[in-house]
A and B are shown apart, each in its own frame.
Chain A
Amino acid sequence: MSLEPRSTAPARHAPCAVPPNVLERIIRNGTTEQRDWALSTLSLDATARLTRTHNAAVALARPRRRPAPAPAAIGPRRTIADAEGREILPGVTVRTEGAAAVEDVAVNEAYDGLGATFDFFWSTYARNSIDDEGLPLLATVHYGDHYDNAFWDGQQMVFGDGDGELFNRFTVSLDIIGHELAHGVTEDEAGLAYLNQPGALNESVSDVFGSLVKQHKLDQKAEDADWLIGGGLLAPGVQGVALRSMKAPGTAFDDPVLGKDDQPDHMSRYVYTSADNGGVHINSGIPNKAFYNVATAFGGHAWEKAGKIWYETLRSPVLRTNASFRSFASITVTQARTLFGSDGAKTVQEGWRAVGVRV
């Protein structure tokens, strides 16, 4: 867990001429007046990274009175609520942390999925919840009437029951739950803009960690995983196996109503569109395939090497909110070299080159 201030990180959105690391020194060492000024200046910058840096600096400046919480206190701290078919949040609490399973399958799937996702990030990357500060996990099920979606709204998870015609309930697939919670992690760490290439990276990172949550739960190796996103989500009669395939983008479904899976697996087939925020769910096929290439080239548990490289890329202070595929890729190569040496870097490089991203 990272509790040290990242005072050496270059600022991405300096709100004023005084660099954040200088502001942090003022917070630690300045007079009360200076500290107030520095704090208000720092807080003008809304990025999560700077907020965390500043919180850590303030924490360091305070005299330590309480010991750090015992490791036993770390856990998902789940609450599941029921919106009972209305579009209200959070709804009525139906299961809390440690409580026994209930009859409602959606409640239990949400509870277990949140737990599996927390466990994945904690046991593989020592990340304590979405914000790495132990955020309690809240999920609402049965949101809306025939609601065809699941999303992280910035504070909590929301699951619809699906329309039954195209989509089943959105708690059905563990990788969906992991995908949505990973949006919270991306927002906290990298703030990738939800548009065009950074948006497709944002989507891809969620597919990557969504799939890894499932692989981790099933104790699967890269070569044994199905690499499907949303398996089980398509209602009976819809022609397809899932919503996306990281292994073979563009092959997950072909249906008269859903249309054909049009994810590209190479830069030469990048889709330019104004729909879906610049095709964020379409072009994510390219970085998805790159991750699959890297994970299978390393072999073994995908979260140990490929996943670790992607996770550290997401946390890298040099990853910009408007990152292109190429700039994201070049950071993965740097991280691979740091973590696994030049052979690791070469593996990552080849994974990206195979999808037409030159690094």
Chain B
Amino acid sequence: MSDRERVRVVLERSGGFAGRTIRRGLDTDDLPDAEAEALRALVGALPAAPAHAAGPAKAAGPDRFTYAVAVDAAGHQGVHHFADPLPEAAKSLIQLLSKAPLLPAHG
């Protein structure tokens, strides 16, 4: 992934005690250079997106989270599905996105 390439990521977190789908997102165009680079690196470290659109991940237990990470970047597009407990390769990205700006519901 090149230094200047624009990367947009949207996290949809579902389940949990609340049972609501919460959307948060980051865009390298809106970030300082260092943070943009960190986001590119975390997205680059994700396991390959499935060739076919997969359904939502199944929660590990009652009130646990499931996550859908939608990536929009040249050469890397797709939706990654995860559930708690997170795989190491996705943990840092999801922790970062969990503090990202909120997006409207059902967008």
Contacts and interface: CB of A to CB of B under 8 A. Distances in A.
B82 interface: no
A274 B55 contact: yes
B17 A151 contact: yes
A60 interface: no
A327 to B, nearest CB: 20
A256 B105 contact: yes
A255 B106 CA distance: 12
A180 interface: yes
Nearest to B101: A165
Contacts of A281: 15, 18-20
B104 interface: yes
Nearest to B86: A87
A148 B17 CA distance: 9
B18 A148 contact: yes
B63 A275 contact: no
Interface string A144-176: 011011111110000000010111001000001
Q: Which 5 A-B pairs have the closest CB atoms?
A: A281-B19, A259-B105, A183-B62, A149-B16, A151-B63
Interface in A231-287: 233, 243, 255-259, 274-277, 280-282
A275 B17 contact: no
18 contacts: A145-B95, A149-B16, A170-B17, A176-B17, A194-B61, A194-B62, A202-B62, A206-B62, A256-B104, A256-B105, A257-B103, A257-B105, A258-B20, A258-B105, A259-B105, A274-B56, A276-B14, A281-B19
A146 B99 contact: yes
B55 A148 contact: no
Contacts of A203: 19, 62
Interface in B43-83: 55-56, 58-59, 61-66
Contact of A194 (B20, B59, B99, B105): B59
B22 A166 contact: yes
B31 interface: no
Given A146-B99, A165-B102, A256-B104, A152 B62 contact: yes
A152 B95 CA distance: 21
A186 B61 CA distance: 12
Contacts of B98: 145-146, 148, 163
Interface in A45-100: none
Given A146-B99, A163-B99, A257-B104, A280 B19 contact: yes
A256 B65 CA distance: 21
Interface of A: 145-146, 148-154, 163, 165-167, 170, 176, 179-180, 183, 186-187, 194-195, 202-203, 206, 230, 233, 243, 255-259, 274-277, 280-282
A206 B65 CA distance: 17
Contact of A230 (B13, B18, B22): B18
Contacts of A183: 61-63
Contact of B17 (A146, A150, A154, A259): A150
A321 to B, nearest CB: 13
Contacts of B105: 255-259
A162 B64 CA distance: 14
Nearest to A280: B19
Contacts of A257: 22, 102-105
A145 B99 CA distance: 9
Nearest to A229: B17
Given A165-B102, A259-B105, A275 B21 contact: yes
Nearest to A277: B59
Contacts of A145: 95, 98-99
Contacts of A258: 20, 22, 105
A276 B17 contact: no
A191 to B, nearest CB: 11
A165 B101 CA distance: 10
